[in-house]
């Protein structure tokens, strides 16, 4: 089956945060400013129609006519387990899978379950910006452990982290695949993190939401399989939302192999209340049951998008496009352009009229960077590239 990723969808008037919220999200713009010509490259979702099996599953829910509370989760958990096994080689007992109203909610519930106000949580920065806002809102300290750049990619510096520990750290967050760097951590790196958590008695929270966005023929290494010794202290957060572009279903997966940890998580989750999102569960089950062909096609399309993007944007003087193996979020460094951060942002948002995420939001090390979402129809991506080339055409 072939899929059309080239034809743009009408999203600007479709209750689409990415296309409708630009004015509120960009510091360079005013909320009431006309943003109709700006290409959004910020929110992490794809500008593609969902896979046919997912849309069919939603239609089946509508046709059934019942829109009440969702009930038994076992069939969905079996679909999740089947996908993780055949796609990633991870044999997961369906009984250890729990559900949250999106991965961010699962993250917050995990933090509430295993830490107290004033405790510190380790983040390898730069990293997904929402970790910062959630932790601060919950009264947790953030221990930033800056990633090292070596040969054009990020590496963790566990020795420096060990030397900087304060004793208040209770948990460590591993973003795998890494957002915004697009890195896949190697099994030996994951094992080193697991050993670090063991040595310092830390909960290991592995955010694997981008697991299904590796480029073709590049395997993803789940933390649970790369470091099975970490299972007694491991909480895995993931979803079908990124890989299948169904974030609107607000359905996260919280996979906790250890029974004692699972019991503590469940106590925290009961405080939040609620039942799974009916439509999100239907989409998740369909994605992980019948989404293999669409997933392979979209990952090939994204890899070609990145090849084009890296070839042209990376050719601009002073601009570095970090190599990536997964996700559709390209991390671009403007440090060597000689421009102030404010000028770079003005040229991007006002001159080129493209709207990426500003790098400072991702923590230490992100100040001179911007994160670009390249999951768009190729004609739109080519337009964005041409605009950026024009905005920086004076670079020497």
- Return per-residue pLDDT of the chain as tens, 396 residues: 899 999 999 998 888 999 999 988 899 998 888 999 999 999 999 999 999 999 999 999 999 999 999 999 999 999 999 999 999 999 999 999 999 999 999 999 999 999 999 999 999 999 999 999 999 999 999 999 999 999 999 999 999 999 999 999 999 999 999 999 999 999 999 999 999 999 999 999 999 999 999 999 999 999 999 999 999 999 999 999 999 999 999 999 999 999 999 999 999 999 988 899 999 999 999 999 999 999 999 999 999 999 999 999 999 999 999 999 999 999 999 999 999 999 999 999 999 999 999 999 999 999 999 999 999 999 999 999 999 999 999 997
Prior bond to 177 cis, omega within 30?
A: yes
Are 150 and 239 part of one and the same domain? Answer: yes
Question: Which element (helix H / strand E) includes 261?
Answer: helix 259-272
Are 281 and 304 part of one and the same domain? Answer: no
The residue count of the chain comes to: 396
Are 180 and 98 part of one and the same domain? Answer: yes
Residue 61 lies in a domain: no
pLDDT of residue 301: 98
pLDDT of residue 391: 98
Q: Which of 153, 129, 25 is nearest to 366 (CA)?
A: 129
Domain boundary among 290, 312, 334: 290
Q: What's the token pair of residue 26?
A: 């960009």
Domain boundary among 232, 255, 290: 290
pLDDT of residue 396: 77
pLDDT of residue 89: 98
pLDDT of residue 1: 81
**DSSP-based helix, strand, coil % in the chain, nearest 5:** 45, 15, 40
Residue 4 lies in a domain: no
Are 269 and 136 part of one and the same domain? Answer: yes
Domain boundary among 263, 290, 317: 290
Q: CB of 270 within 8 A of CB of 120?
A: no
**Domain range for 300:** 17-51+293-391
Are 195 and 75 part of one and the same domain? Answer: yes
Are 256 and 118 part of one and the same domain? Answer: yes
Rounded to an integer, what distance in angstroms lies between the CA atom of residue 239 and that of residue 254? 8
Total domains, the chain: 2
Residue 353 lies in a domain: yes
Please state whether beta strands 329-333 and 320-321 pair in parallel, antiparallel, or not at all (unpaired). antiparallel
Q: Which of 113, 90, 118 is nearest to 100 (CA)?
A: 113
pLDDT of residue 182: 97
pLDDT of residue 59: 98
Are 386 and 285 part of one and the same domain? Answer: no
> Does pTM top 0.95 for this prediction?
yes
Maximum C-alpha span of the chain: 62
Domain of 379, CATH number, reads: 3.90.1150.10
Are 313 and 257 part of one and the same domain? Answer: no
Of the chain, the percentage scoring pLDDT greater than 70 comes to 100
Are 304 and 285 part of one and the same domain? Answer: no
């Amino acid at each position: 089956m072939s899929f059309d990723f080239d034809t743009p969808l009408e999203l600007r008037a479709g209750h689409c945060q990415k296309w409708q919220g630009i004015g509120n999200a960009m510091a360079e713009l005013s909320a009431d400013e006309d943003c109709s010509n700006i290409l959004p490259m910020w929110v992490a979702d794809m500008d593609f129609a969902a896979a046919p099996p997912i849309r069919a599953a939603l239609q089946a829910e509508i046709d059934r006519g019942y829109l009440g509370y969702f009930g038994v989760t076992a069939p969905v958990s079996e679909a999740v387990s089947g996908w993780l096994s055949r796609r990633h080689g991870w044999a997961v007992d369906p009984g250890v899978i729990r559900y949250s109203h999106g991965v961010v909610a699962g993250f917050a519930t995990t933090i509430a379950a295993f830490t107290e106000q004033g405790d510190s949580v380790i983040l390898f920065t730069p990293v997904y910006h929402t970790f910062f806002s959630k932790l601060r809102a919950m009264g947790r300290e953030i221990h930033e452990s800056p990633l090292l750049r070596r040969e054009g990619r990020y590496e963790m510096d566990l020795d420096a982290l060990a030397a900087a520990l304060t004793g208040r750290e209770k948990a460590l967050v591993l973003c795998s695949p890494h957002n915004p760097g697009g890195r896949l951590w190697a099994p030996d790196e994951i094992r080193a993190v697991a050993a670090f958590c063991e040595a310092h008695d830390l909960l290991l929270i592995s955010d694997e939401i981008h697991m299904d966005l590796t480029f073709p023929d590049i395997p993803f290494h789940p933390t649970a399989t790369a470091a099975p010794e970490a299972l007694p202290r491991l909480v895995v957060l993931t979803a079908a939302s990124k890989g299948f572009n169904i974030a609107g279903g607000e359905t996260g997966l919280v996979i906790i192999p250890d029974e004692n940890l699972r019991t503590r998580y469940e106590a925290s989750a009961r405080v939040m209340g609620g039942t799974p999102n009916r439509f999100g569960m239907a989409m998740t089950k369909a994605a992980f049951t019948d989404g293999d062909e669409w997933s392979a096609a979209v990952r090939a399309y994204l890899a070609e998008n990145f090849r084009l993007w890296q070839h042209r944007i990376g050719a601009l003087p002073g601009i570095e496009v970090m190599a990536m193996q997964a996700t559709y979020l390209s991390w671009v460094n403007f440090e060597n352009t000689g421009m102030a951060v404010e000028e770079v942002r003005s040229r991007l948002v006002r001159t080129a009229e493209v709207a990426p995420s500003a790098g400072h939001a991702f923590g230490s090390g992100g100040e001179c960077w911007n994160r670009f979402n390249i999951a768009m129809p190729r004609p739109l991506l080519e337009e964005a590239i041409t605009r950026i080339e024009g905005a920086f055409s004076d670079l020497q």
